[in-house]
Amino acid sequence: MAQHPAAYPFRVNKVVISGNCWDGAELWSTGFYVGNTSGDAADPGTATAAAIAGIWQTFFTHADAIISNAYRTLQVKVSQLQTDGDVDLDMIDIYDYPTAMNGAYAGSPLPPQISLAVTMTSDTQRGLGSKGRMYLPGVAAGITNVDPKIPGASQVKIVDRLKIFFDAVNASADVAGDVVLASKGHKFTILQDPDNWYYVNGVIKKVTGARLGDVYDTQRRRRDGLDEVYLSRVLA
């Protein structure tokens, strides 16, 4: 019988922010964790998702975030994960925006596979719980044919807005706990049996910093409603 015991040291809340782009042809999502470093996360209740949604709206629609208006946010979902990583179905809070919320940048958008990764850091220098990633959707800071990096001024604007966003989540009276990094730990296989394993040394660490690079990342994703049209030619 397979054994898959506890992964996280405590229960933690997983925040998933989602939306679409190109008038619904493609879907995107991003997110982070909220919780405590010394005990279980609080039940998200009925106010957490709405509070985070308001804070995200301030970030997503701010000109300094440089998010394309081809991208829009539709929902914020907060789900409590049990220590084994499964969702507690009695502890889910969902906020659906009454009106789809578009980014503020009117220039040409980049494909949804192109994202700007935020590295969230803790006071742990290396190893488990030291770093985590959040992919920002729809960032359209310009690059040129002579410089593949986003402009330094744009990088400053975006990372400053991120700080404001995370600080506001931590300060919200409706969001119990802090933005955290949640690691399941190392996977340990019992007697070399791939069906019997468990995690060891899982950790939850408070996020104390946000680091943003100046090079776009490729985010692996599956197309949703974006149909691809092929052209072929018969070779001589």
Of 64-68, 130-134, 177-181, 218-222, the range with the lowest mean pLDDT is 218-222
Residue 146 pLDDT exceeds 80: yes
In tens, the pLDDT along 54-80 reads: 999 999 999 999 999 999 999 999 999
Q: Please report, to the nearest 10 degrees, the dihedral formed by the alpha carbons of residues 150, 151, 157, 161 taken in order.
A: 10
**Predicted local distance difference test score (pLDDT) of residue 196:** 66
Of the candidates 198, 199, 202, the residue with the CA atom closest to the CA atom of residue 2: 198
In tens, the pLDDT along 3-45 reads: 556 688 999 999 999 999 988 888 899 999 999 999 999 999 9
Give the domain ranges of the chain: 12-218
Residue 111 pLDDT grade (very low, low, confident, very high; cuts 50, 70, 90): confident
In tens, the pLDDT along 148-202 reads: 899 999 999 999 999 999 999 999 999 999 999 998 876 666 666 666 666 666 8
**Which residues on neighbouring strands pair with residue 227, listed in sequence order?**
none
Residue 222 pLDDT exceeds 60: no
**Predicted local distance difference test score (pLDDT) of residue 12:** 97
In tens, the pLDDT along 75-94 reads: 999 999 999 889 999 999 99
Of the candidates 139, 142, 122, the residue with the CA atom closest to the CA atom of residue 130: 122
